[in-house]
Structure 1
Amino acid sequence: MLRFCVLLLLLTACKADQPTVLSGVVIKVLDGDSLIIRDAANQEHALRLAFIDAPEYSQAFGSESRRSLDRWAYQKTAVATVIDTDKYQRSVVLLQIVGKDINAEQVKAGLAWHYQHFAKGKQSTTQFALYQAAESEARAAQRGLWQEATPTPPWDYRRAHPR
């Protein structure tokens, strides 16, 4: 009996280390960093893309950011690795569509910031460097929001425009 309990405890601990993965079809894109998928069991999941922050819809490049995510994701099958849950009870995820890191693609396009404040300590060193390089490349090429001399980060915009 003791062996069984120890084995059960070990199996539970091993399973807890594995990330939750959701998959389904994207049924709605809300903005440049959030969307809804429907899984095979017909359950809907609200998702927030991890490690990035896109302009608010009412902010410069907000609609372009949303359209970009829509082109990448709408009505496509997505695989989402859950990193966290946010204060709105959305799963914070790394989103993959056809093997592409969609979070990084939004940054590369200049339509989202690498959200370093959130990423530090949660994002792998390699992935952190990749997202930083994507943002630097978008800045240098003046893509998307980097066309502006001093674009306002969404976290500053939200502070100045509370709901």
Structure 2
Amino acid sequence: MFRFYLISFFICICSILYSQEIEGKVVAITDGDTFKLLTHDSTLIRVRVANIDCPERKQPFSKKAKQFTSDAIFNKQVELKVLKKDRYGRSIAYVFYDNKNLSEELLKAGLAWHYVKYSDDKTLQNLEDKARKEKVGLWIEADAIAPWDWRSSRKKRKQQ
């Protein structure tokens, strides 16, 4: 019986740690999918928007993605549903503002890719597919390069 309680306790702790809800004010926009949040207790958190990937700096539409994110959430109160931390210490989170999900809004605007390496969310994929079909945002370019491919090609060039 003790083993059952120990396992139940462990499962509860894991779910608390990996599905945390945080509220705060957005105080800086790094790029289209990364920003800084100041919590109510004055903790500064670096946030990476979950399950999408916006163009990198120097890629087409990078500035538009950053501006979209800034217009949507900068200096506003938002709610995060933190999924996990990444290797850079950023909180990977769904970001909610004005009854909207930032991941979804960036995809609708054609300013992000659904990050299928980390997500199998059909809603997000459908939003990307619709933006592609309607040639919204970055999808006006037939040869748009996904950020993960762009980063990979830059690494290979640096190694040569």
TM-score by length of 1: 0.86
- Number of aligned residue pairs: give it: 154
Rate the CA distance shift 1:159–1:9 in 2: closer, same or farther, 3 A: closer
2:142 corresponding residue in structure 1: 149
Rate the CA distance shift 1:86–1:151 in 2: closer, same or farther, 3 A: same
Secondary structure, in 3 states, of the residue corresponding to 1:111?
A: coil
Report whether the alignment pairs 1:20 with 2:20: yes
* Structure 1 residue 6 displacement after superposition: 7.5
CA distance in structure 2 between the partners assigned to 1:134 and 1:69 by the alignment? 17
Amino acid at match of 2:111: L
CA distance in structure 2 between the partners assigned to 1:100 and 1:36 by the alignment? 18
Aligned-pair Cα RMSD in Å:
1.9
Secondary structure, in 3 states, of the residue corresponding to 1:24?
A: strand
Could you list the per-position Cα deviations for residues 96-122 of structure 1 after superposition, in whole angstroms to 9, with x for gaps in the alignment? 1122111111011000000001114xx
CA distance in structure 2 between the partners assigned to 1:63 and 1:113 by the alignment? 15
Amino acid at match of 2:49: L
Report whether the alignment pairs 1:34 with 2:34: yes
CA distance in structure 1 between the partners assigned to 2:6 and 2:23 by the alignment? 28
Report whether the alignment pairs 1:140 with 2:138: no
1:119 corresponding residue in structure 2: 119
TM-score by length of 2: 0.88
Which stretches of structure 1, 4 residues or more, deviate above 4 A after TM superposition? 5-12
CA distance in structure 2 between the partners assigned to 1:141 and 1:59 by the alignment? 21
1:93 corresponding residue in structure 2: 93
> Please, which runs of 5 or more residues in structure 1 have no aligned partner?
121-127
Identity value in percent = 29
1:108 corresponding residue in structure 2: 108
Secondary structure, in 3 states, of the residue corresponding to 1:161?
A: helix
CA distance in structure 1 between the partners assigned to 2:108 and 2:75 by the alignment? 22
* Contact 1:57 1:66 survives alignment (8 Å): no
2:45 corresponding residue in structure 1: 45
